[in-house]
Amino acid sequence: MIKISALIISLAAVGLTSQESSPEVEHETSPPPAIDIAGHMLSVARAGKGDIVYDLGSANAEVALTAAQDFGSRGVWVFNDSEVIDKKKEIAAQSGIIDWIRFVQADPAEADFSDATVLTVHGVPGVEMHLRPRLIDELRPGTRVVTLGIDMGAWQPDSQVDIQGHTIKLHIVPANVTGMWHWVQPRSTNEVTLRVRQRYQNVEAALDQLETSLHISDIYLHGSRLGFTLRDAKGRLAAGYHGIVQGNTIKGQIYGPTGTTSWRARRDPSTMGSILGTHMVKDSSEVR
């Protein structure tokens, strides 16, 4: 028994010595995975089949390539270096998506992008103020403009997300709904006039020739979709108007307690103004 106890003590001592003398194991730290900025930008835009995605300012065509490869969209990469474009064409060909991407050699700030349904801007410092009026004037209402680390000034984003220190903003190009819109109320001969002022997607309006007890609320403009509700003095819903703006015409529906009917309004073209104006309607007396 004494010999066995001595052996156990001896083995324990050997074990302690071994643990004390063994070197510490160094664990290599793997670098964090790369952030898929292009994928996040396209997800924010909800890009998909049928979209034409313009990639402005991307030095490696990542948005155009990702749009074609992962989102089923057609990509257009605008860059001003022919040698870099040729290299990216080779990559697109090797990936089997060359037919889904158009490569345009041009200054991204001066390129024609009027057929875009999604347009991404990043990596072009200072160009946003030059681009902003062009985006408003040349893109169709409803076009999604996605920016990375860029401030569009007075044109506030419709939404934004922060991805590990990167701010991605979504701007929906608004239709121009400024001016005076006219229509005849259902089951009536009374013509109504809607007077609208606008600053980008922010809209304020007032109605002429309508019951004074009703007022406009919940007005919104999302791309080419315009809507508002009429409520009485107690806040009860009298009617809801929802339509699509097509030039000088709005086509949609009126929803009310008695049912739904069609809505068609026309604008006097001579009353249309700029959506970049600095003055918004304060109350209905300003527009009467």
Q: Could you report the per-residue pLDDT of 216-275, keeping only the tens digit for each?
A: 999 999 999 999 999 988 889 989 999 999 999 999 999 988 899 999 999 999 999 999
Q: Read off the pLDDT of each residue in 35-56 and give the average, rounded to a whole number.
A: 95
Q: CATH code for 37-172? A: 3.40.50.150
3-state DSSP call for residue 266? Answer: strand
Q: What is the mean pLDDT of residues 116-144?
A: 88
How are strands ordered across the β-sheet holding 166-172? Answer: 101-105, 74-79, 52-56, 118-121, 144-148, 166-172, 159-163
β-pair type (237-246, 225-231)? antiparallel
| Residue among 74, 125, 83, 124 at smallest CA distance from 101 | 74
Question: CA-CA distance, 254 to 266, in Å (whole number)?
Answer: 15
- Answer for the pair 205, 196: CB distance below 8 angstroms, yes or no: yes
- The answer to whether residue 5 scores a pLDDT higher than 70 is no
199, 221, 281 from 196: Cα distances, Å = 10, 11, 8
Mean pLDDT of the residues in the chain: 84
Q: Where are the domains of the chain?
A: 37-172, 179-286
pLDDT of amino acid 8: 36
Among 130, 129, 98, 93, which residue's Cα sits nearest to residue 111?
Answer: 130
Q: What gap in Å lies between CA 24 and CA 153, rounded to an integer? A: 55
List the single range of 37-41, 201-205, 229-233 with lowest mean pLDDT. Answer: 229-233
Calculate mean pLDDT across residues 67-87: 95
pLDDT band at 214 (very low <50, low <70, confident <90, very high): confident
Write down the architecture of domain 179-286 according to CATH: Beta Barrel (2.40)
CA-CA distance, 191 to 142, in Å (whole number)?
Answer: 29
* Reported pTM: 0.81
